[in-house]
Chain A
Amino acid sequence: MRNRRNQPVRQKKAGTGTSAGKWVWLGFLAPSLLGVLIFVCLPFLDVVRRSFTTAVTGRWAGMSNYKSVFENEAFRLAVWNTFRFTAVCLPLLVGLGLFVAVQLSKLADNQKFKTLFLFPMAVPAAAVVLVWKMVFSSGGFLNLLLNRLGLLADGAQPDYMASGAAFWVLVFSYVWKNLGYTVVLWLAGLSSVPDSILEAARVDGASRWKCFWRIVLPNLKGSLYTITVLSFLNSFKVFREAYLVAGSYPDKSMYLLQHLFNNWFVNLDLDKMAAAAVCVGIVLFLAILALQRLWDRDE
């Protein structure tokens, strides 16, 4: 990530420039590149073409697929929910991860805690579905706890999966699953903060908070980039829990783009799907490039 200078920059010794040697990189590159081209890149171009044609007859349809996608109410709801989910989850996960990482970094031995926080990564979504049902349904543990604490109104026993609260259940399960690696990434970032600056600052009498805000945080920018991108990437995987707990048509508050794509796929709405895939692909592509550009500039 950081040691650009350590990289080998040579390709082939100039003196041995046989024609076979010049192309040897292709041999290492080809298998993976072929796979990527066959399974992702070329078919995606076909999807782009399809997005401008009708699904059944394959005739040129101009922008009509795009128009019908943008006018589609389910699409708007799904985009809004996905956006809302990302906007709530990313800051929450990144912030909570940093908080836990800083707490852990102050312990003499934090290996056990790290294991605890990482373990949900190993728990398959399918295995945890049962637990989520036990916790969040109307007779579940959450209501039991609230009842014991006297926080539950008389007779009211909400089913969290079937109301607007479903969104927050999803947020919870996302944080539960992803906090571990966020903490690990933050810890790695914390350990790379140069000691000399910190020592100098402390000698100069800087307070703990000042040290943290002025020295540690600015040095964590690289980690922040990685954590944000990976958390974003993984935020699409909450579909697993969402689908397994609530099926193809969950409560409106947690109907995500992933549900929509899946339903279109099942209903063979391929033209809409093509147009939507192109749109989402472009948005994500631009977002990734913009983030990379930002990061490049900081270096």
Chain B
Amino acid sequence: MGRREQKNKTGETAGRRAGRAARRFMGKRSFPGQALRYLLLAAAGVLFAAPVFLLVSGSLMSRWELGEYLSALESGEGFIRWTWFPMYPTFSHYARLLFETPQFFTVFWNSMKIAVCSVGGQLLLAVPEAWAFAVYRFPMRRVLFTLYVVLMLLPFQVTMLSSYLVLNDLQLVNTHWAVILPAACSTYPVFLIYRGFSSVPRALLDAARIDGAGEWRIFRKIGLPLASNGILSAVVLGFLEYWSLIEQPLAFLEDQSLWPLSLYLPEISLSQAGYSFAASVITLIPPAFIFFIGQDYLEKGIAASGLKE
């Protein structure tokens, strides 16, 4: 029952609803105003998309072409040049990266491991936690809730030393677990998932209990289906976040062979620009993929990031 309600509520995107509401109070739209608005937004949109265009076109240019265009960056004389489309498009940089650079694979899988394990760990911890916050009333509940909000908002730099001390004691520094375990304990997903749970009607829970269902069974059969939206939002937001992690691996991973892509990419010098472009594009592919299949959940997750009960 609750499930269907939620679907109906979210079947229409927030933007469209906002559009309707706005049109209601803004009255009729004039044509020149509307055209100007489109133009303005399109210009801003182009600006937002430009970096991706530069990366993709650069990755398809030959070494010589790139060298000529980018020479101004190194010498500091004259200006950079660019074309809409490479003169002699080539996939050679990709080929080199994928077939001749085993190091790149290591780094790629490091990133994958960190992102996937962090997000998985988060779900294992955050889903039951959110259920506890939403369904049970226990002592210190409000205090814990506030603690979780604060922990969510503290930047890494504040907890960096404390994390390091405990990781050092556990002898985890310079392993991937040093990045994964603290990330798994992030409290952000708790709040994304909590919202789905808090809509469960309490009569339903009571009915299930009277019928003799155990608490764990109730959580699995009634709770989990309700949380699916929140869980997917947490997965999308979490993956985007942990795929481009910089601070944590920088502090806790000394060994370069353990580095994720986000630390490896900037190490490539400008003289190997083509290689660097291709590597950037490949780095962009997994989060872009997640972004496009999960954009709906991403938006819902963002819109649900209320920080209060």
State how many angstroms separate the Cβ of A103 from the closest Cβ of chain B.
5
CB proximity to A under 8 Å, residues B57-95: 58, 70, 72-73, 75-80, 82
Cross-chain contact of B154 among A109, A212, A281 (Cβ < 8 A) = A281
Contacts of B266 in A (CB 8 A): 126, 129, 244
Q: With A25-B138, A124-B283 given, is the CB distance from A190 to B18 under 8 Å?
A: yes
Q: Are B129 and A32 in contact (CB under 8 A)?
A: yes
Encode contact with B along A197-227: 1 for CB under 8 Å, 0 otherwise: 0110110000010011001100000100110
B155: nearest chain-A partner, CB-CB:
A236
**Complex formed: what's the CA distance from A157 to B79 in Å?**
9
Number of interface residues of B (CB under 8 A): 130
Nearest CB in chain A to that of B82: its residue: A141
Q: Tell me if B32 is interfacial: C-beta within 8 Å of chain A.
A: no
Among A101, A122, A202, A280, which residue has its beta carbon within 8 angstroms of that of B288? A122
The stretch of A63-71, A132-140, A163-171 that contacts the partner chain: A132-140
Size band of the A side of the interface? 35 or more
Tell me if A139 and B80 are in contact (CB < 8 A).
yes
> Is B160 within 8 A of A28, CB to CB?
no
User: Does B225 lie at the interface of the complex (its beta carbon under 8 Å from any beta carbon of A)?
Assistant: no
**A31 and B129 contact, Cβ closer than 8 Å, known pairs A239-B246, A285-B150:** yes
User: Shortest Cβ distance from B242 into chain A, in angstroms?
Assistant: 10
The answer to whether A32 and B18 touch across the interface, beta carbons within 8 angstroms, is no
Of all chain A residues, the one with the shortest Cβ separation from B79 is: A144
A259-288 residues with Cβ-Cβ distance < 8 A to B are 261-262, 265, 270, 273-274, 277, 280-281, 284-285, 288
Residues of chain B touching chain A, judged by Cβ–Cβ distance below 8 Å, are: 13-27, 29, 34, 37-38, 40-41, 44-45, 48-52, 54-55, 58, 70, 72-73, 75-80, 82, 124-126, 128-129, 131-132, 134-138, 144, 146-166, 181-182, 184-185, 187, 190, 195, 198-202, 205-206, 209-210, 215-216, 219, 240, 243-244, 246-247, 250-251, 261-266, 270, 273, 276-277, 280-281, 283-284, 287-288, 290-291, 295, 298-299, 302-309
* CB-CB nearest 4 A-B residue pairs: A1-B306, A139-B72, A8-B202, A124-B244
